[in-house]
Structure formats: C-alpha cells, structure tokens
Amino acid sequence: MIISTKAIVLRKIKYSDSSLIVDVFTELEGRKSFFIKGILGKTKTKLKNSHFQPLSQILIKYNKREKKKINFLIDCKVQNHCQNLYLDYRKSSIILFLNEILNMCILEEACNKELFSFLENSLNWLDNNDKISNFHMMFILNLLKYLGINPHLKSSNSKFLSLENGSFEDEKPNGLYAEGDSVKGIISLLGMKFDDCFLLKVSPVQKREILKTLLEYIEYHVQGFKHPKSLHILHQIFE
C-alpha cells in the first residue's frame, strides 16, 4: 500500500558510510522508521540529507510493508521551509532541545492528528516570531496535554506539584513533589498562548528551576526518558 502523508523528523542515524535510518512522526500513522540507502554517498540521489534536519516538516510517500518496522521512502519533499529555525542560534538551540524530548516521548505507531497539528503549528509559530524566551517551557506544558499526562490544576494558588498524582496540590502531598517558584511559574504559564509567553518575567535561575521540574515530571511519567543532553546549551543561550 502506498502512503502519502505529512511528517516531522525526529531522528536520523548514520548506517554504514552512505546510508541513514530516519525516524519521523507522521500525521497518518504515528512514528515510522525508514532506511534511506546511499543518501550520504557521492552519487546524487532523489532524496537529500538536508530534508532530514531536526524537526523538519516534510511530505513523504512510502510503500507500507505490513509487520515490518523499517520501510523505504519513495519520495520526500519539504512541507514548510522554516529557515529561521536553523539560522537563528536561539531558535536552533530550542529545536535541538525539543527534538530530544519529542524523540523520547513519541514512541507509538499510532495516529495522533491532534498532536501532529500542535507540533506543526508550534514550529511555524517559532519560525515566524522573535519573542521566544519562554517558548520551550510553554511547548512542554502543552505537549503534556497531547501525551495525556498533563497535571491537573485544582487551584491557581496551589503550592505543590505532585509528580505521582499528576496534580497541583494545596497541601504537601505524599511521594515525589515540587514546590516553590518553579510551581508558581508553571501555573502562570498554564492557559497562556505563545503570543503572550514573553510576558512572564522570570530570572535565569527561575527558568532553570521550571525546566528542571517539567523534565522531572516527564521522567516520572514517560518510561526511558532522560534529561536532554542539549539542556546546558539552552541554559547558556537564554542567560
């Protein structure tokens, strides 16, 4: 069966001297892996390595092979030319950071059009806007909703975030929890739109704490999740 769908690049791994294995999140069929032979070789191929930058938005066509984990691409074209994402050092650092998170969180071969639409719209917003200092924190908060693990807010005055219960609490909960300015900052971001995210004024130290809490929350709820290697680069860029 031939499938044509939009996709977002999650990962590429070099295979031999000239080939790649590429993982993408497709609009129609969730996460898929493809073997791309000879793309890194000297001979020109129809598919280009530049199509598979982190979180690139592409249009792909492939022959779906039932019960096979790796498929072969027939065609690939760029869907949206988001050049600012890779030329602006602030945006490129955010892309690398979010790419690591998405690669560890999106694991299922299942259609999730709502999640795909969120990713598509978020990436386009980042490409077209410059007031982006809190974008990555808001992105993660919204991502939790589409992954089905977003914390429940009982009160805007809550002081604790229970990692185990997945909820903000007024009283100190049992088990693992976060408290302090990071919880206040997260609650302030809830319900904000990307256009307003820069309005939250937080110090570099507070931003570190908010990110630390969000990543610990994901780590508790997503099996195999590890803190992104690019986190330290992100801290340096926005301090």
Distances in Å between the alpha carbon of 42 and those of 17, 52, 94?
11, 18, 32
Do 88 and 172 fall into the same domain? yes
What's residue 91's pLDDT?
Answer: 95
Do 103 and 47 fall into the same domain? no
Which of 60, 80, 100 represents a domain boundary (last residue)? 80
Which of 65, 80, 95 represents a domain boundary (last residue)? 80
Containing structural domain, residue 47 = 2-80
239 residues of the chain, pLDDT tens digit each: 899 999 999 999 999 889 999 999 999 999 999 999 989 987 778 889 989 999 999 999 998 877 778 889 999 999 988 878 999 999 999 999 999 999 999 998 889 999 999 999 999 999 999 999 899 999 999 999 999 999 999 888 899 999 999 999 999 999 999 999 999 999 999 988 999 988 888 888 999 999 999 999 999 999 999 999 999 988 888 77
Query: What span, in angstroms and rounded, lies between the C-alpha atoms of 70 and 109?
Result: 12
Angle at 68 between CA 60 and CA 53, to 5 degrees: 35
Domain count, the chain: 2
Distances in Å between the alpha carbon of 142 and those of 40, 119, 122, 184, 214?
36, 10, 10, 17, 11
Please give the sequence-ordered ranges of beta strands (E in DSSP) within 16-114, or none if there are none.
19-26, 30-36, 57-63, 70-80
What's residue 157's pLDDT?
Answer: 87
What's residue 17's pLDDT?
Answer: 86
Do 90 and 171 fall into the same domain? yes
Task: Determine which helix (DSSP H) or strand (DSSP E) holds 4, and give its type and residue range.
Answer: strand 2-15
Question: What global pTM score does this model have?
Answer: 0.93
Do 187 and 98 fall into the same domain? yes
Q: What is the CATH number of the domain that holds 215?
A: 1.20.1440.120
Q: What is the CATH number of the domain that holds 69?
A: 2.40.50.140
